[in-house]
């Protein structure tokens, strides 16, 4: 499953450009090119594994579970959320592809920000659904001993009370640091502030020029020249260059789209498969 993460893709491209050859010098241009290609390959590498989770959660696994509640959380919880998450991911990488230089249009920026928040809201929801599914299938008798807020694959109390968790603990705990990072930096519920993608990055001169154009647009609106005003708005939004980072809390720094989002998909895919592997292997052994 190493191909799910960015580093193997980057290493493969680095070798092709001779990074592993002693004394070989790679130009900054070539280094930027290979990093861009590695990000492209990585973004596509997680596409099918994420889609396969949908099929597994909705078609393959539910019928093999004995608990009705577990089936509901898997099929209608994980299944629906992964479908929405996949569509959001597809829109993200098609709109903000790794080689994009042109600023986002206003409607693109708004759509991207909606997809970005949908992506992470559903990612967090899938983790919760997997935990409830595991609890109801493996140890439903412990449900009364756990509040809803205690049910979670990364919850200390959940791991202690649900003793069956020890069977998947090695495969889940390797994602502990990632989960902490998700909760603090990329969860739209954190700080109660949504994620956001700026439409562009502009220089001081471009910002001044944009302000002049928008003032002219306001005058066109007041004069009823609406088509002209629309063109001026597009002109202002076309200044600058694409900024491949998204933002959360203003006290936090910008977060790179690549490899962050594809890497987050990779973690989710591994976690979901770890839970479902356990549930299905348990049933097959009965």
**225-236 per-position pLDDT tens digit:** 999 999 998 888
Say how far apart CA 61 and CA 197 lie, in whole Å: 36
Mean pLDDT of 239-263: 93
The overall average pLDDT reported for the chain is: 92
- Whole-prediction pTM: 0.90
* 204 three-state secondary structure: helix
pLDDT in the model for residue 160? 97
Say how far apart CA 230 and CA 213 lie, in whole Å: 11
**157-200 per-position pLDDT tens digit:** 999 999 999 999 999 999 999 999 999 888 887 778 999 999 88
∠ CA 33-200-264, rounded to 5°: 60
pLDDT in the model for residue 186? 87
Q: Give residue 28's pLDDT band: very low, low, confident or very high (50, 70, 90).
A: confident
Tell me what percent of the chain is helix, strand and coil, each rounded to the nearest 5: 75, 5, 25
């Amino acid at each position: 499953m190493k191909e799910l993460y960015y580093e193997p893709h980057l290493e493969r491209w680095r070798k092709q450009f001779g990074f592993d050859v002693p004394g070989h010098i790679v130009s900054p241009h070539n280094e930027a090119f290979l990093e861009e290609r590695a990000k492209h390959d990585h973004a596509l590498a997680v596409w099918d594994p994420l889609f396969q989770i949908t099929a597994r959660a909705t078609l393959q696994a539910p019928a093999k579970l004995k608990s009705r509640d577990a089936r509901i959380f898997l099929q209608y919880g994980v299944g629906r959320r992964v479908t929405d998450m996949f569509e959001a991911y597809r829109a993200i990488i098609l709109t903000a592809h790794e080689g994009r230089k042109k600023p986002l249009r206003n409607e693109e920026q708004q759509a991207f920000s909606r997809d970005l928040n949908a992506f992470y809201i559903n990612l967090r929801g899938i983790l919760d659904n997997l935990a409830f599914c595991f609890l109801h299938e493996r140890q439903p008798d412990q449900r009364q001993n756990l509040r809803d807020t205690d049910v979670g694959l990364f919850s200390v109390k959940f791991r202690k009370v649900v003793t069956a968790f020890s069977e998947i603990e090695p495969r889940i705990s390797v994602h502990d640091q990632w989960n902490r990072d998700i909760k603090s930096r990329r969860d739209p519920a954190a700080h109660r502030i949504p994620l956001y993608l700026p439409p562009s990055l502009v220089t001081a001169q471009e910002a001044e020029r944009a302000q002049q154009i928008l003032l002219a647009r306001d005058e066109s609106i007041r004069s009823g020249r609406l088509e002209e005003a629309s063109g001026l708005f597009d002109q202002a939004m076309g200044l600058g260059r694409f900024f491949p980072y998204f933002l959360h809390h203003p006290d936090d720094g910008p977060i790179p789209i690549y490899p962050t989002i594809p890497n987050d998909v990779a973690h989710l895919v591994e976690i979901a498969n770890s839970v479902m592997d356990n549930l299905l292997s348990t049933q097959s052994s009965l």
